[in-house]
A and B are shown apart, each in its own frame.
Chain A
Amino acid sequence: MDRLQQDNLFPHRHLLGIADLSASEIGFLLDVSDSYIDVNRGPNKKQTKLRGQTVINLFFENSTRTRTSFELAGKRLSADVINMSVATSSIKKGETMVDTSMTLNAMHPDVLVVRHPDSGAVKLLSEKINGAVINAGDGSHEHPTQALLDALTVRRRRGRIQGLIVAICGDVLHSRVARSNIHLLNKMGAQVRLVAPPTLLPTNVERLGVEVFHDMRTGLMDCDIVMMLRLQTERMRGTFVPSTREYFHFFGLDSDKLAVAKPDALVMHPGPMNRGVEIDSVLADDITHSAILDQVEFGVAVRMACLDVLTNNLRADATGMVS
């Protein structure tokens, strides 16, 4: 692809959030991701696009699947990938996050993939970095690659995003996945609903362009897509729901509640699932509805696409083609 043309299609140095992107930029990332799905399914998964480049996965918060997905994406593009779990190293020695990022920046990484438990932390860090920064989740703010892989899953399974009714259910309050998805789905023309008890919804969330429901059976009515969220007990201070048993009874997804949605409704979950808390175990494994393994598969493709596009921009930047 011609670089200058690509620069025009995605003129960003970092990927910090979906809120900063336009529909066409999102569409472009999804198109590039699509091409990587074929690569990942083929016999030779190794591409050479990032040969000689360094990707650092900098995780200030524990993660297995996202980190692995980014690691695999980098390696399949031939980058040198280094994983750093900072939660267990220098921060405990008193080094600040800004110091850590400046130290890493001095080693000239091309891409930093960063996860942090605080909202806004990845943006703060990006201000000290010369390379590209990908937000792999910051607090309750954004998780852009998750929203992109969700969108890719929907687009491949339904052929479109425009006009679909999507219900995002559960712990919206603590969820960066929900926020990124709300932004993305709205930009791509879907109709977004939120279904959750009031204690798990952020204030004035309807101003983000969503319809709010407190009852699963009305919220899921005629839905095309049901996105379940993990109950994030680790972020909770105090009681938001009385018990997981009560939560599952009213807000957990089972086949009864799903019956009011469209017959071919797709069930998604960003993982890791709490089986029997937000989703019924049998339903999670039901391949006619569940797109959960597609999400995992497409996640690698989306992350390859993001690494590809952002490093392309960096190279163009170095040759003076992007200001």
Chain B
Amino acid sequence: MNSVRPSAQGQRIALLNARLLDPSSKLDQPGALLIENRQIADFGPGLFNEGTAEDVMVVDCAGHCLIPGLVDIRAHLREPGAEHKENLSTASKAAAAGGITSVVCMPNTDPVIDQIALIEFIARRARETSAVKVYPAAAITKNLHGKELTEIGLLLEAGAVAFSDADRAVADSLVMRRALAYAHTFDALIMQHPEDPTLSTGVMNDGEMATRLGLMGIPNIAETIIVERDIRLMELTGARYHVSHLSTKETVDVVRSAKARGLPITAAVAAHHFALNENAVADYRTFAKVSPPLRAEPDRVAMVSGLADDAIDVIVSDHAPHDQDSKRVPFAQAANGIVGLETMFPLALEIYHNGEIGLLELLAKMTVNPAKLVGLDAGEIKIGAAADLVMFDLNAPWQIKIDKLRSKSRNAPYDGRPVQGRVLKTWINGRIAFDIDIED
């Protein structure tokens, strides 16, 4: 497949002339990096000043950025059960092209990932078919019904990296209290989809646009009310807690003030919530229908400022592939979701290019922060770490074309959007998983 020979055990690859960027160590300087035994063997400004040995394969980075592979802790990969929308193989190609080397998949599959056998199934399928590393999040409650807890301890031992009811909130306060209290025993991470189901029977953001379109709205408080309640339950149980993706200004404020009180709360934002506002659904564009809904412009701005001041810790793709039949229907009937594995990184770079956030600070939200949150040894450039690396051109302008997306589904509202910054090569365990010279 690739003209570059995969690095066999023992093969050494030298990445020369790179701008090395590592958010965890605040490294940002020109230098080189050596991959050996699929790991990062050495790196730094002085490396290879004396030249490279004969048996070392050389890649000239031409001054482009070299960063740890991105870690996306929220993606819906649809396997098992909805392979007509996506599977681990197609998703992994999209992820690698988007600079993502580790993905946490959501448990809203069919069957639901709520038992050990499914965790093992995902691990095996990922090993056999996926180019990127896939880690399952298990359900908090059986069958995502919000009633009975799953075997949190056993699932954790089997390899679940976090717990989430995917696109549903744990709405029942008693169940949530028990989930947090029990998970705390194992230091398991509960990731809440923050949306009160009784307040979110609508199909888009509540407000003037919904009123004009004649669509039922989902108010901002549907989100805030759940997060505020959960913060009280955190205080009661001592558990850590993660808002899997937030969309409103009020929720950012609530998370920020809980952090100021020292609570172990973290929050993520999906790329579409800082890249788009509710205007994207005008004319009933179902590709922009997502949960939680795209909000008003002040909310979008609050996402950016929340990222800048660290109220928001993580950026996720919330990759949610859907086939045409799920989207080519009246708006109220359309499925929620946007594909995002390939677009998360360029959309995030918009915030950097707009001068809202530093490059290392932005990269931290897609590397070391999410990796630490779910306990992965990833997202850092350090000696001995797996050689999961991304080389990208920080300034290259290009246009997103949805018919070029590698995901099996192409439900993205970004067609023709100009972006700046492009992934050139992705290595996973020292092997090329994406190379723009070969694929484009």
**A interface residues, Cβ below 8 angstroms from B:** 19, 96-98, 116, 118-121, 123-124, 138-142, 176, 179, 202-205, 207-208, 237
Give 30 pairs: A residue, B residue, CB < 8 Å, sorted on A. Answer: A97-B330, A98-B329, A116-B330, A118-B332, A119-B284, A119-B330, A119-B331, A120-B213, A120-B214, A120-B215, A120-B283, A120-B284, A120-B330, A124-B284, A124-B328, A124-B329, A139-B215, A139-B330, A140-B215, A141-B213, A142-B214, A176-B214, A202-B210, A202-B211, A202-B217, A203-B206, A203-B211, A207-B208, A208-B211, A237-B201
Q: CB-CB contacts of B331-355 with A at 8 A, as 1s and 0s?
A: 1110000000000000000000000
Residues in B393-429 with C-beta less than 8 Å from chain A: none
Q: CB-CB contacts of B274-298 with A at 8 A, as 1s and 0s?
A: 0000000001100000000000000
Q: In the complex the two chains form, is A140's CB within 8 Å of B325's CB?
A: no
Instruction: Give every chain B residue within 8 A of A139 (Cβ-Cβ).
Output: 214-215, 330, 332
Tell me the complex Cα distance, A120–B216, Å. Answer: 12
Q: Can you list the 8 inter-chain pairs with the closest CB atoms, starting with the nearest?
A: A141-B214, A120-B284, A118-B330, A140-B214, A119-B214, A121-B330, A202-B211, A204-B208
Q: In the complex the two chains form, is B214's CB within 8 Å of A138's CB?
A: yes
Tell me the complex Cα distance, A141–B216, Å. Answer: 10
Q: In the complex the two chains form, is B283's CB within 8 Å of A204's CB?
A: no
> Given A116-B330, A139-B332, A203-B219, 5 other A-B contacts at CB below 8 A?
A96-B329, A97-B330, A118-B331, A140-B214, A203-B217
**B interface residues, Cβ below 8 angstroms from A:** 201, 206-208, 210-217, 219, 283-284, 325, 328-333
Shortest Cβ distance from residue A119 to the other chain B in the assembled complex, whole angstroms: 4
Instruction: Give every chain B residue within 8 A of A97 (Cβ-Cβ).
Output: 329-330
Q: B333: nearest residue on chain A (CB-CB)?
A: A118
Tell me the complex Cα distance, A140–B201, Å. Answer: 15
Q: In the complex the two chains form, is A204's CB within 8 Å of B211's CB?
A: yes
Instruction: Give every chain B residue within 8 A of A237 (Cβ-Cβ).
Output: 201
Instruction: Give every chain B residue within 8 A of A121 (Cβ-Cβ).
Output: 330
Tell me the complex Cα distance, A98–B211, Å. Answer: 25
Instruction: Give every chain A residue within 8 A of B333 (Cβ-Cβ).
Output: 118
Shortest Cβ distance from residue A237 to the other chain B in the assembled complex, whole angstroms: 6
Q: In the complex the two chains form, is A203's CB within 8 Å of B210's CB?
A: yes
Instruction: Give every chain B residue within 8 A of A98 (Cβ-Cβ).
Output: 328-329
Known contacts A124-B284, A204-B208; A96/B328 CB under 8 A = yes
Shortest Cβ distance from residue A88 to the other chain B in the assembled complex, whole angstroms: 18
Q: A179: nearest residue on chain B (CB-CB)?
A: B214
Q: A122: nearest residue on chain B (CB-CB)?
A: B330
Shortest Cβ distance from residue B366 to the other chain A in the assembled complex, whole angstroms: 34
Q: B281: nearest residue on chain A (CB-CB)?
A: A120
Q: In the complex the two chains form, is B332's CB within 8 Å of A205's CB?
A: no
Tell me the complex Cα distance, A138–B330, Å. Answer: 10
Tell me the complex Cα distance, A137–B210, Å. Answer: 17
Tell me the complex Cα distance, A54–B207, Å. Answer: 40
Q: In the complex the two chains form, is A203's CB within 8 Å of B208's CB?
A: yes
Tell me the complex Cα distance, A176–B332, Å. Answer: 15
Instruction: Give every chain B residue within 8 A of A179 (Cβ-Cβ).
Output: 211-212, 214
Instruction: Give every chain B residue within 8 A of A120 (Cβ-Cβ).
Output: 213-215, 283-284, 330-332
Instruction: Give every chain A residue within 8 A of B214 (Cβ-Cβ).
Output: 119-120, 138-142, 176, 179
Tell me the complex Cα distance, A237–B330, Å. Answer: 19
Shortest Cβ distance from residue B378 to the other chain A in the assembled complex, whole angstroms: 42
Tell me the complex Cα distance, A139–B332, Å. Answer: 10
Tell me the complex Cα distance, A205–B217, Å. Answer: 12
Q: In the complex the two chains form, is A119's CB within 8 Å of B208's CB?
A: no
Tell me the complex Cα distance, A208–B219, Å. Answer: 19
Tell me the complex Cα distance, A205–B284, Å. Answer: 19
Q: B202: nearest residue on chain A (CB-CB)?
A: A203
Q: In the complex the two chains form, is B283's CB within 8 Å of A123's CB?
A: yes
